[in-house]
Amino acid sequence: MRLAGRKIWGGRDSEELIRALRQIRYTHVIAQFKKEDRFVEHDFSIFNEVLIERRNSATDPITACTVVIADPIIQSLNDKHFTCLNHVLMQELSSVATAFYMRLFYHFSIPFDGKHLNRVSFKKRYDDICLEWLGGLTVLKYRSDIIRDQLGSHLDQLVRVGFLRSYDISPAETREGFVIAFRPGARFASDYQTFYVRRHQGDFQFNFHDESQAIGEPHQVAYLFVEKRTGQKRDGIPYVSSRDVETAKELLRSLPLSQMEDFLDFALSEARRTRFDLQTLGGVKQYLNSYFQTSDRRATEKAKASAKLVQEAEEQLKSDYAAYLRTAAGKLLESRPAHERATIEDLARAKARPPVGGTGFLSNTFYELERTRLTIDRYPGEVLSFDLWKERTTR
């Protein structure tokens, strides 16, 4: 409500908020467009759902409200089919000046190259502006009346804030009526860079107030709890209760967001072990102390497990490399002349021959190892080193 300009909050404000939400909830968007080989008409509401929360009774002031945006709108946002405009500037403008700002921003943006502002202008018939831009505003006959009684003050406002450099109302050349010519000002150029260019480059970011950050993280925690408790995907959870959001704020005073997933896994595991059915986020607070007590031990165990995995992976790599060497050396030896092969094989048998009275059980293994080593030594550079083989394998 502060974003809407309200400084106080009470029952009357609650009812006005509900009325506004319902107006949007029951407003339909009808989109008509060509899709593949068919003409489509898509009818949907802006909000799919509205959740209103009050403290105790139906007459109490609202404590929280949640809206669920319609899927077609979400899809358009994901596809970047949207326009960013300067909301702070529009709050300073009249409703008519705001309508001009929104329309002209689009028409100025099309020919503007980011450099030559003086080359940009836009003209439109006055009667078309009244019908298409201003919802059927009365079309006046005289230029002086248009400026003095209707549009002049609103267009002058856009000139004062720097969005327009100038405007001119002149008689139309083709038929009776007037044409208004608009030229953009420096404020348009700066808004173009901030809200248009950066948006299409994909690096536009909003600078949130600290309070917004304090709202965002608790909601993340509340949604994460529902995901883990129910197994639902985040997309399938329309909203979370304000009570869980308040509990999340308390938890974030004890734990950073980066540890919250680990803590929730621990709490849900402990709850299952004692057959406690966790329904709300408030139920996990009882596990904070035991989480802190066991965190050092679990961190040590986790580090040991990670080290063991690394060691096992390294040992597996070495084993795989040894297999590669045997195969590569065997192919390399097969490609050499017969007398070279015979020399290496004789040396390998001599090295692998068991001692007098010993067993020949391992002699074949020793022979293979020695033949591989001798082949690699005899033809250096023909077989990949461990580091090069590892790089190619892991790639």
Same domain, 199 and 219: no
Same domain, 168 and 233: no
For residue 199, is pLDDT > 80?
A: no
Which pLDDT belongs to residue 388? 84
Q: Do 389 and 324 form a contact (C-beta atoms < 8 A)? A: yes
Number of domains in the chain: 4
Task: Answer whether residue 219 is part of any domain.
Answer: yes
| Mean pLDDT value across residues 366-380 | 84
Between residues 242 and 100, which one has the greater pLDDT? 100
Residue 322 confidence class, pLDDT cut points 50, 70, 90:
confident
Question: What φ, ψ does residue 26 adopt, rounded to 5°?
Answer: -100, 10
Same domain, 58 and 97: no
Same domain, 290 and 326: no
What's the DSSP call for residue 205?
-
Report for 113-117, 176-180, 289-293, 379-383: range of highest mean pLDDT: 176-180
Domain-ending residue, one of 203, 223, 247: 203
Residue 58 tokens, joined: 């139906």
Provide the residue range defining the domain that includes 169.
85-203
For residue 365, is pLDDT > 50?
A: yes
| Mean pLDDT value across residues 134-151 | 94
Same domain, 169 and 196: yes
Domain-ending residue, one of 166, 186, 203: 203
For residues 226-254, b (16+ Cβ closer than 10 Å) or e, as one string?
A: bbebeeeeeeeeebbbbebbebbbebbee
What is the pTM (predicted TM-score) of this model?
Answer: 0.49
Instruction: Kindly report the average pLDDT of the chain as a whole number.
Output: 85
Task: Answer whether residue 305 is part of any domain.
Answer: no
Task: Answer whether residue 310 is part of any domain.
Answer: no
Task: Answer whether residue 309 is part of any domain.
Answer: no
| Residue 146: CB atoms within 10 Å | 19
Task: Answer whether residue 104 is part of any domain.
Answer: yes
Q: Which of 241, 211, 212, 214 is nearest to 225 (CA)?
A: 241
Same domain, 47 and 90: no
Q: Do 187 and 89 form a contact (C-beta atoms < 8 A)? A: yes
CATH number at residue 90: 1.10.10
Which pLDDT belongs to residue 127? 95
What's the DSSP call for residue 139?
P
| Mean pLDDT value across residues 250-268 | 89
Which pLDDT belongs to residue 204? 42
Same domain, 173 and 92: yes
Which distant-in-sequence residues (6+ apart) come within 8 Å of 119 by Cβ? Answer: 111
Task: Answer whether residue 311 is part of any domain.
Answer: no
Task: Answer whether residue 330 is part of any domain.
Answer: yes
Task: Answer whether residue 302 is part of any domain.
Answer: no
Residue 220 tokens, joined: 């993340």
| CA–CA distance, 288 with 263 (Å, rounded to integer) | 8
Same domain, 27 and 15: yes
Which pLDDT belongs to residue 200? 52
Same domain, 94 and 184: yes
Same domain, 199 and 217: no
Same domain, 159 and 236: no
Same domain, 96 and 161: yes
Residue 241 confidence class, pLDDT cut points 50, 70, 90:
confident
Domain-ending residue, one of 169, 188, 203: 203
